[in-house]
């Protein structure tokens, strides 16, 4: 056979075979022992609530350098849906306990028919279900400040998760109350002790915002806003107000505490970027990543997550040579708008020390910037919207640490 005419399929098949052989060698599966007779092992009885295998113990990290937060174990998950009990949390004043039978949502202001909806009334409207990510705007701080090398994907970017959200489109409720022509903004106010409130452009309501009461096939968890929350897909987490209790429509933003003293981006020239709602395209390699050690040279699959608040991920490029060259990764279906997308890339490690990194591009053409590019426009003092390229340093001994691309 002409060595110059090896097909891509043959090459990938050979690489996959090499990976398989390596796995068998590492795990000892090449000499498998015969398992015990399953008919001699009585199974566990039925239960009224399922649970994970005792061999699987994923956990959120509480704190992790963030106040009032718990972080999703991104490196331990598969697919794109985050189990509800592992969805990240970020609170300003703890988790309130709200009786669903006493829950009320007031919509008033520049409307023809101010209305109070209870939970039963919300559930009587036609429901929609959509898969979307949520992300805290402070997510990724370690990737911007390079605080330490011994951080896992969970500690770098664990303040993001994807769920299937079920609820009523906010546009449906706005038509029900009769929004007046001059209304351009609405205030969303939460029912927590902090009474967190954010101003939202009304165009988002007519687009894809919803009042969600379901998550991954069940009612919202209390830490996710039970019994109902605002969902504004693709926008920073704090604008997705939990325990939503009041919506007021007006012809201007309300300039609340959370959009003046907080959730603004200070810029190098002394000004601040305000109402920077959209979470820009971002990606994160979850393998290989700290604290993994590659036991030997050879074929390895680089894998991770990418997402964008502007729509679908169009491509993810991976570099395994300190950013000198880039090659497209494979996107794993489904590829949905404003949703986590998995990617994978086959890499043959030759044992040399290197940086492995990923770069996402969304369907608008926006590409994830380098750290230097982001610092040039944002400065070093910003505390929100860190979407610069992340990198992992693979050392000669196979250990992997967090390392920044400059």
261 phi, psi to nearest 5 deg: -75, -20
| pLDDT reported for residue 14 | 54
Furthest-apart CA atoms within the chain: distance in Å? 78
Q: What H or E segment, with its residue span, contains residue 18?
A: helix 8-27
Low-confidence ranges of the chain (pLDDT < 70): 1-31, 146, 404-406
Angle at 270 between CA 267 and CA 276, to 5 degrees: 35
Domains of the chain: 80-268 (3.90.420.10), 282-402 (2.60.40.650)
Q: Which of 313, 326, 327 is nearest to 360 (CA)?
A: 313
- HSE value, Cβ hemisphere, 13 Å, CA-based, for 16: 7
pLDDT at 8: 44
Q: What pLDDT score was predicted for residue 65?
A: 83
What are the distances in angstroms from CA 286 to CA 84, 188, 197, 376? 20, 35, 34, 27
DSSP 362: E
What is the DSSP track for 304-338? EEEE-TTS-EEEEEEESSTTS--EEPEEESP--TT
pTM value surpassing 0.75: yes
- Euclidean distance between CA atoms 164 and 215, whole angstroms: 6
Residue 355 has a pLDDT of: 97
Supply the pLDDT for residue 335. Answer: 98
Take residue 271 and report the two structure tokens written for it: 């000004």
**Cα(133)–Cα(284) distance, integer angstroms:** 14
CA–CA dist 214, 316 (Å, integer): 31
Determine contact, residues 63/294, Cβ cutoff 8 Å: no
Place of tokens 């794993």: 332
Q: Exposed, middle or buried: residue 176 (CB in 10 Å: 0-12, 13-18, 19+)?
A: middle
In this predicted structure, what is the pLDDT of residue 213?
A: 98
pLDDT value of position 382: 86
pLDDT of residue 229: 98
CA 173 – CA 277 distance, rounded (Å) = 22
pLDDT tens across 25-35, in order?
444 455 678 88
pLDDT (0 to 100) of residue 40: 81
């Amino acid at each position: 056979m002409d060595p110059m005419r090896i097909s891509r399929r043959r090459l990938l098949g050979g690489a996959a075979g090499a990976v398989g052989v390596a796995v068998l060698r590492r795990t000892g599966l090449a000499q498998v022992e015969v398992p015990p007779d399953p008919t001699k092992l009585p199974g566990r009885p039925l239960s009224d609530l399922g649970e994970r295998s005792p061999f699987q113990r994923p956990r959120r990290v509480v704190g992790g350098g963030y106040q009032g937060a718990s972080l999703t174990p991104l490196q331990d998950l598969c697919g794109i849906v985050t189990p509800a009990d592992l969805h990240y949390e970020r609170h300003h004043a703890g988790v309130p306990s709200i009786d669903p039978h006493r829950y009320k949502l007031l919509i008033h202001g520049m409307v023809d028919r101010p209305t109070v909806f209870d939970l039963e009334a919300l559930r009587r409207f036609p429901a929609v279900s959509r898969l979307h990510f949520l992300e805290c705007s402070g997510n990724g701080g370690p990737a911007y400040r390079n605080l330490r090398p011994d951080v896992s994907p969970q500690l770098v970017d664990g303040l993001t998760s994807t769920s299937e959200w079920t609820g009523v489109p906010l546009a449906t409720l706005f038509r029900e109350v009769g929004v007046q022509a001059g209304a351009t903004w609405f205030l969303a106010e939460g029912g927590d002790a902090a009474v967190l409130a954010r101003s939202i452009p009304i165009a988002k309501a007519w687009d894809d915002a919803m009042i969600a009461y379901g998550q991954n096939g069940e009612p919202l968890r209390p830490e996710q806003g039970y019994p109902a929350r605002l969902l504004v897909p693709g926008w920073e987490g704090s604008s997705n107000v939990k325990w939503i209790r009041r919506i007021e429509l007006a012809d201007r933003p309300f300039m609340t505490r959370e959009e003046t003293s907080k959730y603004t981006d200070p810029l190098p020239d002394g000004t601040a970027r305000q109402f920077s709602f959209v979470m820009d395209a971002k990606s994160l390699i979850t393998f290989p990543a700290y604290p993994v050690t590659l036991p030997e040279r050879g074929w390895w699959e680089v894998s991770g997550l990418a997402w964008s608040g502007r729509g679908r991920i169009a491509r993810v490029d991976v570099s395994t040579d300190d950013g000198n060259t880039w090659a497209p990764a494979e996107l794993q279906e489904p590829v949905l708008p404003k949703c986590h997308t998995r990617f994978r890339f086959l890499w043959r490690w030759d044992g040399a020390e290197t940086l492995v990194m990923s770069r996402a591009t969304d369907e608008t053409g926006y590409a994830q910037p380098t750290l230097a590019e982001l610092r040039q426009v944002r400065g070093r003092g910003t505390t929100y919207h860190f979407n610069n390229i992340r990198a992992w340093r693979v050392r000669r001994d196979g250990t992997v640490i967090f390392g920044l691309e400059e």
